Structure 1
Amino acid sequence: MAGIGGEATLRGRALDGARTERVVGTTADFGDVLGNLKMAFMGAAEARYGRFALLADLLYLDLENGISTPRDRLYAGGSASVRTTGAGFVAMVRPVDETAWSLDAGAGVRPWWVDTKLRLNPGLAQGRTIGSSVNWTDPVIALRGRVRLSEQVSLTAYGDVGGFGVGSNLTWQVIGSVDWQPDDWLVLRAGWRYLSFDFGNASSSLNLAISGPIIGASFRF
């Protein structure tokens, strides 16, 4: 149930060769996103052997939102679309594995693919469409902790940070959940996820955050 907020800067050239730069800011909660959503998906998998684990997750969000333009009537409104795909692959080791709590630490990579498009409707000026597609891969370091409250209930917190100028300038995320395990093979989860990145190159700059409540189930094989 994701909302999205941030800013996209699209750079290019006008017909006369002059450099142009358009900055689009957008904030949309889950209700706004749901009304403009084309498709969304989030999933994760974990393979574990003793104290070692490999985590993988995939996030896809495709939405389009209407925007207003300045009162000079140069353009009669428009729309901004953002299609974001992010994946994560993190290898972790468990240095602490107690009955009441555990701690995992690790490192990995998070590749991103982001397509942004700005459509400006005709007003006094002719309508325009500006778009940019970028992709990059961020190194990340991660921590995850679990606290067991009872036989069936536990708390899980995960966080990672990365980019460091290798891919993006900075990316980070936090996930917190309350977990209920009614059976050995099933865990039901409810919590919150916040994911942010700040990326820039010659053609575009993206500073976006995706966040919202999560409800899910984990199946153990």
Structure 2
Amino acid sequence: MRFDRNLLLVGLVLLGSARAFAADLPSPNAQTVEEAAPAGQPYWSFTAGTYLWAAGMSGDVGQFDLPPVSVESSFSDILKHLDFGAMLVAELRYGDFGLFNDFMYIKLSGENATPNGIVADSVSVDSESVTYTAAGEYRLIDDASGSLDLLAGARIWSVDTDISFSGGAFDGLTFSEGDTWVDALAGFKGRYNINSEWYLSGWAMAGGGSSDYMWDLWGGVGYQVNDKFSALIGYRASGVNYDNGDGFVFDVVQQGPVIGAIYRF
């Protein structure tokens, strides 16, 4: 069957924007917030937080066996379709070793009227996206000036999209498509302490597997409010090129400012 190209674009933008919220916010270096451990003894630390990546998106996305469509969406365009979002990040450390976790769930929806109302009066699109990143960490540098961690892990992506027709010849019809894929990743995450309160934070990651490639860059400034709480603001850019060979294409770059808050337990 043939869909109107403008109607499908609504679904493709929603598909892409689900990923646009998936920021892996870097957790603060434990050095400035950890209570002193006995000399030579490793310590346990746990940090958790929430964040928002106000990212726009550009690239090519496609599904339902139709040719990929170029999209150019600002964060405000994406926000109009947001129904619900949950974005959490956590890091567990023991001495030089750590485990980084990031979880994101996004539900988006939109509705668009058809030009002539023959095939349908309107088309609604619902998209649910889950992104989970887990990475092991090893601290290469840890001194008064900051730290540098080596990262290695995987990112899991899962997207489900439903297109439903109301009125016209297709009244009551619903078409669903989704995909789940996994990419391995590796990189570095670092922190530089400007003073006892302010610090710089950043990372660089790249990988692939199910996708042809993916990359992820972050840089920002953090403020240590007290020994438990810190706030971050910065900029992040990320890209991925995935094609499952069966009509599902996700070849995009997302970038925009990030804000977040992290708490040490």
TM, length-normalised to structure 1: 0.79
Rounded Cα–Cα distance in structure 1 between residues aligned with 2:166 and 2:56: 23
8 A Cα contact 2:68 2:249, kept in partner: no
Superposition deviation, residue 9 in structure 1: 1.8
Closer, same or farther: CA 211–183 of 1 in aligned 2, 3 Å: same
- 1:42-74 deviation line (CA, Å, top 9, x unaligned): 21101111111110011223323567999xx98
Greater shift in the superposed pair: 131-140 or 26-35: 26-35
Greater shift in the superposed pair: 148-157 or 61-70: 61-70
Structure 1, unmatched stretches of 5+, are: 12-19
Q: Residue 248 of structure 2 corresponds to which residue in structure 1?
A: 204
Rounded Cα–Cα distance in structure 1 between residues aligned with 2:106 and 2:217: 18
Structure with the bigger RCO (C-alpha within 8 Å, sep 6+) is 2
Structure 2, unmatched stretches of 5+, are: 1-51
Superposition deviation, residue 80 in structure 1: 5.3
Q: Residue 36 of structure 2 corresponds to which residue in structure 1?
A: none
Greater shift in the superposed pair: 43-52 or 185-194: 185-194
- 1:97-137 deviation line (CA, Å, top 9, x unaligned): 121131111200111101234567889x8687654210011
Whichever residue aligns with residue 217 of structure 2, its letter is V
More strand by share: 1
Q: Residue 132 of structure 1 corresponds to which residue in structure 2?
A: 177
Q: Classify the secondary structure of the residue corresponding to 1:32.
A: helix
Closer, same or farther: CA 156–142 of 1 in aligned 2, 3 Å: same
Rounded Cα–Cα distance in structure 2 between residues aligned with 1:197 and 1:122: 37
- 1:141-165 deviation line (CA, Å, top 9, x unaligned): 02111111111000000221111xx
Rounded Cα–Cα distance in structure 2 between residues aligned with 1:22 and 1:78: 19
Closer, same or farther: CA 69–27 of 1 in aligned 2, 3 Å: farther
Matched-pair identity in %: 28
Greater shift in the superposed pair: 168-177 or 111-120: 111-120
- How many equivalent residue pairs? 209
Aligned residues: CA RMSD: 2.9
Closer, same or farther: CA 217–109 of 1 in aligned 2, 3 Å: same
Rounded Cα–Cα distance in structure 2 between residues aligned with 1:7 and 1:77: 24
Superposition deviation, residue 3 in structure 1: 3.4
Rounded Cα–Cα distance in structure 2 between residues aligned with 1:108 and 1:87: 11
2:82 aligned residue (37, 61, 70): 37
Q: Residue 146 of structure 2 corresponds to which residue in structure 1?
A: 101
More helix by share: 2
8 A Cα contact 1:157 1:175, kept in partner: yes
Q: Residue 88 of structure 1 corresponds to which residue in structure 2?
A: 133
Q: Residue 62 of structure 2 corresponds to which residue in structure 1?
A: 9
Superposition deviation, residue 175 in structure 1: 2.1
TM, length-normalised to structure 2: 0.67
